[in-house]
Amino acid sequence: MVNTRNPDRLLEVENLDVAYGPIQVVWDITLSVRRGEVVSLIGPNGAGKTTTLRALAGILPARKGKINFDGRDVAPDPPHRRVGHHLNLVPEGRQLWPRMTVEENLLMGAFSRKLRPKSNQNLERIYDLFPRLKERHKQLCGTLSGGEQQMCAIGRGLMAEPILLMLDEPSQGLAPIMVDQVFELICTIAQEGVTILLAAQNASYALQISNHTYVMEWGKMLLEGPSETLRESDHVRRAYLGATD
């Protein structure tokens, strides 16, 4: 199915329901991501952010709803097909292979036959973006710091040449100085033309770097709007930004 409604919208999700077996955890999610934007999905732990991204990546089946990506209905597609359409997820917790080197982990992002001829070229691009990974390219991933592992996970996602890169809790478990660096890198990636959908509990950073924000609670969308506007929302300020007035 070709999406002819609004070609400026790279991703359009309508009335998405997702369940783990008989237990439904996401209800009636509708969201859109415009080309070239950074869109954030914020909410507390257990709100359904990870479940939503996993459904968009095809890791979890949608019980109901439409997922249109880059003019295609991708809802029936398995995860590898969605990656082939350049829709990529960097998962929560990084999920690297700890006994493989940094370079071996990165190359796994270019595993598909179509990407392999360009893997060396893309690898150099990743090393330009993450010089620390180049310094440690022969080091086992399990011996890296948390921040370095997150860089490697993002780099692996970029090796697949995404049009839309979905990042699930990229600052989770990192020291404050590394959180700053990771969000700066996300801004750099966006400036290079990659559209980003970011799920984060760290609402302060997410609201600062994104164009548009969705607030998710208890498996449902509660609020949405331009990030600058939501920063002034009483609910967002009190629930996520620590305001007490």
pLDDT digits (tens, 9 = 90+) for 127-166: 999 999 999 999 999 999 999 999 999 999 999 999 999 9
> pLDDT tens, 189-216?
999 999 999 999 899 999 999 999 999 9
Annotate 98-134 with b (16+ C-beta within 10 A) or e (fewer): eeebbbebbbebbeeeebeeebeebbebbbebbebbe
> pLDDT tens, 10-26?
999 999 999 999 999 99
**Which CATH number fits the domain 1-86+200-245, given the four candidates 3.40.50.880, 2.60.40.10, 3.40.109.10, 3.40.50.300?**
3.40.50.300
Is residue 204 within 8 Å of residue 241, measured between CB atoms? yes
Is residue 99 within 8 Å of residue 115, measured between CB atoms? no
Is residue 17 within 8 Å of residue 190, measured between CB atoms? no
Confidence of residue 243 (pLDDT cuts 50, 70, 90): confident
Is residue 36 within 8 Å of residue 195, measured between CB atoms? yes
Minimal CA–CA distance to 59: which of 82, 29, 84? 82
Is residue 52 within 8 Å of residue 82, measured between CB atoms? no
pTM of the shown model: 0.92
A 10 A CB-CB count for 87 gives: 27
